[in-house]
Structure 1
Amino acid sequence: MASKDLSNAELHLWQVVNANPNKTARMSIIQLSEFANVSTATIVRTMKKMGYSGYTSYREHLRENGKSNLRFEVLRDADDKIKSVISKNEIEVNNTLYNLKYSTIEDSVLLTRQAKMVYIFARGLSESSAQEITIKLQLAGKYVEFFSDPNIIKTISKKVKKDNIVIFVSLNGETKELVYAAKELQKNDVASILFTTNGKSSLAKLATLSFIGYETETNYFPDYEVRSRLPLQIMTRIFCDAYSVRTGITKE
């Protein structure tokens, strides 16, 4: 629709946003409403007349087409210390995605689909990522059991059959109970998949397939072993989503 088809209020708004693309890209719909002195309904109506699904769609258009040079709005207002916190997460996400191998994703999905049963072992803060895998695979119709107790993990690892598979979730790949379990699985020729950030770890050497994420050296809680599990969360989510796609759970 041409701008001539806009009402006076809509035309005024359209002129305002075109004259201030960088500022518009940083504004919420409420802020733009106050800045342009128009109602939020006028904003939505104008954007739809101009071919967008709404104000959010228009803001994304501005950013994608380079009319706003802000990569992340939050970085504009943050001080250097907060920027470093944000950048740490960005680095972990980007490098984890860079480390991913397509063949590992496809092979892990295939191994999981073929397995009669899936065991998932994890300890500590990594348990949250392991629990998410458990739930998602169960929703996909897979028989899955998750264990975090060290004694149970060591006991069960000796009994896992060859037509089953074990998934390990371990940030550093050196958790002793998990390493013990991996050695037992290897002796019994049982396949395993590992999610970790340590590609040189004992678990990485023992696992059949390994997803290797990237972890920065910075730890904002130095007195405690509570490093970021973001790389694990990214990789496990990609694995689960890929499994859903390949098994036809996701409707395209």
Structure 2
Amino acid sequence: MAEVTLFFKKLLAKRKDLSTLESQVLEYMLKYPNKVSEKTIDEFANEIFVSTATVSRTCKKLGFKGYQQLKYALDQYTGTKEEVTKQQDSQSSEEIDSHIVRFQKEMKRAMMDVDAAGILSVVETIKNSQLVEFFSVGASFPFGSDAARKLTFAGKISSARSDWDELRAVAHNMNPTDVAIILSHSGETLHLIEYAAMLKERHVPVILISGTKGSYLESIADLTLTAYSKSFYCETIDMSSRFTMNLLIDLIIFEYIKQTTE
């Protein structure tokens, strides 16, 4: 890319030696190098309404023996640019493909690990509760909010809160007749561990839906469902997928709706 820019800069440096018509020839070459490489000198001259002599003279003033040599040079440098673009596109395509494969593996693993008995137990706990409170922070919050919304429409009082202090207050005031559903990709989020400990002190049933097994939150929860998701970071940004967690939540809500509407 740097070589292409340098090549064009060298041509522009010679513009001061060109006449008005010759400058017109140069401007067209710089603006449409690919078109120039496809045209004969006659076609090029007709395109910009100058004589072939003007085109030839311009080429020589730019340091080339003639039009053909200029075309060859343009082909070399624009070809390099196109090759770099192709390589970049190919690399981007490969990266996208690798992410697609990662998503497919996560989905396949999650579907294989679906715990039907666990889902039925969660549904039974929800049915017997007065209130369902979702505890989810950060990237997991949208899934908790969506789940609370769906359960509310299904007739079960449910909520999800984004403010950490509010979640702490809720955990401090929940009762054993309620149920807390914690959503955590890692199962190691400090705030959620704090809330879970408070909930256990109040004998509130705690259900954990996590992306990993063997976490600290799992040791606290009464029931854990795992929606496999591999941790993935892009630079310092957590890009770990939560769609498998969302799938598991939907399966729970589907079953809840089915049992409560039959």
TM bucket normalised to smaller: 0.5 to 0.7
Q: Does 1:101 align with 2:118?
A: no
Q: Does 1:90 align with 2:129?
A: no
Partner of 1:152: 166
Q: Read off the aligned partner of 1:243 and give its amino acid letter.
A: Y
CA contact (8 A) 2:145 2:161 kept: no
Pairwise mapping of residues 38-77 of structure 1 onto structure 2 (< 5 A)?
none
Alpha-carbon separation, structure 1, partners of 2:182 and 2:160: 10
Partner of 1:245: 258
Q: Does 1:227 align with 2:240?
A: yes
Q: Read off the aligned partner of 1:231 and give its amino acid letter.
A: T
Q: Read off the aligned partner of 2:248 and give its amino acid letter.
A: M
CA displacement at 1:131 relative to structure 2: 1.1
Runs of 4+ in 1 over 4 A off after TM superposition: none
SS in 1 for 2:173: coil
Alpha-carbon separation, structure 2, partners of 1:142 and 1:217: 33
Match of 1:202 among 216, 236, 256: 216
Partner of 2:249: 236
Q: Read off the aligned partner of 1:112 and give its amino acid letter.
A: I
Aligned Cα root-mean-square deviation (Å): 1.7
Residues 54-80 of structure 1 show CA distances to partners (whole Å, capped at 9, x for unaligned) of xxxxxxxxxxxxxxxxxxxxxxxx954
Between Structure 1 and Structure 2, the one with more helix by share is 2
CA contact (8 A) 1:196 1:213 kept: yes
Label 1:218 to 1:245 Cα distance change in 2 as closer, same or farther (>3 A): same
Partner of 1:216: 230
CA displacement at 1:167 relative to structure 2: 0.9
Match of 2:180 among 160, 166, 172: 166
Alpha-carbon separation, structure 1, partners of 2:93 and 2:245: 28
SS in 2 for 1:189: coil
Alpha-carbon separation, structure 2, partners of 1:147 and 1:218: 26
Whose relative contact order is higher, 1 or 2, with alpha carbons under 8 Å and at least 6 apart? 1
Partner of 2:72: none
SS in 2 for 1:247: helix
Q: Read off the aligned partner of 1:222 and give its amino acid letter.
A: E
Pairwise mapping of residues 117-132 of structure 1 onto structure 2 (< 5 A)?
117-132=131-146
CA displacement at 1:218 relative to structure 2: 4.1
Q: Read off the aligned partner of 2:256 and give its amino acid letter.
A: Y
Alpha-carbon separation, structure 2, partners of 1:154 and 1:173: 17
CA displacement at 1:222 relative to structure 2: 3.0
Residues 71-129 of structure 1 show CA distances to partners (whole Å, capped at 9, x for unaligned) of xxxxxxx9543322111111111111112211110000000011011111110111111
Q: Read off the aligned partner of 1:108 and give its amino acid letter.
A: V
Alpha-carbon separation, structure 2, partners of 1:214 and 1:114: 28
Alpha-carbon separation, structure 2, partners of 1:216 and 1:79: 21
Partner of 2:194: 180
Structure 2 residue runs without a partner (length 5+): 1-91
Structure 1 residue runs without a partner (length 5+): 1-77
SS in 2 for 1:129: helix
CA displacement at 1:161 relative to structure 2: 0.4
What is the TM-score with the length of structure 2 in the denominator?
0.62
SS in 2 for 1:198: coil
